Amino acid sequence: MLSTIWLLLCIVIGCVQLLVATQLEWLVNGDFVQGLWAICKLPECHIRESLLSLSVLVMYLLGAVLLLLSAIVSLPIVWSKKVVARFNDAKRLGLVANVQFIAALSMGIAVCLVPFDMFEVQCTLSMLLQSSKCRVGWAYACACIVSLLSVCCPVLARLISDQHKRYTLLITEHFL
């Protein structure tokens, strides 16, 4: 049951992160709208080309894809019913937990760097915190929440891995 919750959580978080990455409304200042990959002054948009914006985009997408792929790869591991394979599955789940930790860290760093790259929408950090003109868009708020939730994925993966190890030890002791 816990493994099913973990897999669903990881898949949903990965899909939401990829969906949010495509949205433009991360930071808003009047007619200016900034996303991870483009900036728009309604009605026209252009691709962002600064090194910081591309780094944030790559880190965010890398984290989202790693989280989603690690969950998909671990589907057969979690649903394996063979008692003999449980200990090896625990090792694989430990590796998946490490990958998910890197993914969560990557997304978290990317989300933290976004406010430092908002000069194209003519905002500063103090304006974002105090002004009604510069504001956080719904996509950025959603990305922050889901990035924070993504930290639960490696923790749950480690918990399930330990559960598999204990189960294997109990079976081994019982039959010896």
Q: Say which CATH number the domain at 19 has.
A: 1.20.140.150
What integer pLDDT is reported at residue 109 of this predicted model? 94
Q: Which of 1-10, 127-136, 160-169 has the lowest mean pLDDT?
A: 160-169
Neighbour count for residue 22 (Cβ, 10 Å): 10
What tokens does 171 get?
């079976």
Angle between helices 86-113 and 51-73 (to 10 degrees): 160
Q: Would you say 70 and 99 are in contact if contact means Cβ atoms under 8 Å apart?
A: yes
The amino acid at residue 44 is E
Residue in 26, 35, 27, 29 with CA at minimum distance from that of residue 54: 35
| pLDDT surpasses 60 at 72 | yes
| H or E stretch covering 29 | strand 27-29
| pLDDT surpasses 80 at 22 | yes
What tokens does 163 get?
């559960």
Rounded-to-integer distance, Cα 61 and Cα 69, Å: 12
Per-residue pLDDT band for 69 (boundaries 50, 70, 90) equals very high
What integer pLDDT is reported at residue 24 of this predicted model? 83
- Please tell me the total count of domains within the chain: 1
Q: Would you say 120 and 34 are in contact if contact means Cβ atoms under 8 Å apart?
A: yes
Q: Would you say 23 and 74 are in contact if contact means Cβ atoms under 8 Å apart?
A: no
| pLDDT surpasses 70 at 164 | no
pLDDT digits (tens, 9 = 90+) for 77-117: 777 665 545 556 778 888 889 999 999 999 999 998 887 87
Residue span of the structural domain in which 20 resides: 2-175
pLDDT digits (tens, 9 = 90+) for 24-40: 888 888 778 888 888 88
